[in-house]
Amino acid sequence: MIYSILISVAIFFFGSIIAHTQNGDETQKSEFIVYGNCDMCEARIEKAAKIDGVKSADWDQSTKMLTVEYDTEIVELKKIHESIAAVGHDTELAKASDSVYAKLHKCCKYDRPE
């Protein structure tokens, strides 16, 4: 009796693993620096990060770290960086254009990295 229960449980777990693999869900979590200062920055950064394929985005004002969870089969990490830079915030991989940065609200103008 106990062996049949163990076998049933094992089959269930292996089936779940196979189904997960077949669904092609290639979710990855990444953290990187995004420069900004305030609540307005946080809203702008998180909105810009949530492009197609991104499941979640959370920016921490104090650490300047953005945590994103995304599907690697839909979006590349570089595209997330570029989307954030397009709204005026520099990241580790992408720099906002000077003209977009200049349009940020006064409190949002962070010290730009060299």
CATH code, domain with 30: 3.30.70.100
For residues 24-43, average pLDDT: 94
User: Does 66 map to a domain?
Assistant: yes
The single residue listed with the structure tokens 């940020």 is 104
User: What's the pTM?
Assistant: 0.78
Q: Which residue shows structure tokens 């900004």?
A: 36
3-state SS, residue 60: strand
Instruction: Find the domain containing 30 and state its range.
Output: 26-108
Give me the number of domains the chain comprises.
1
> In this model, does residue 22 exceed pLDDT 90?
no
Q: Where does the pLDDT of residue 27 fall: very low under 50, low under 70, confident under 90, or very high at 90 and above?
A: very high
DSSP class per residue in 46-91: HHHH--TTEEEEEEETTTTEEEEEEETTT--HHHHHHHHHTTT--B
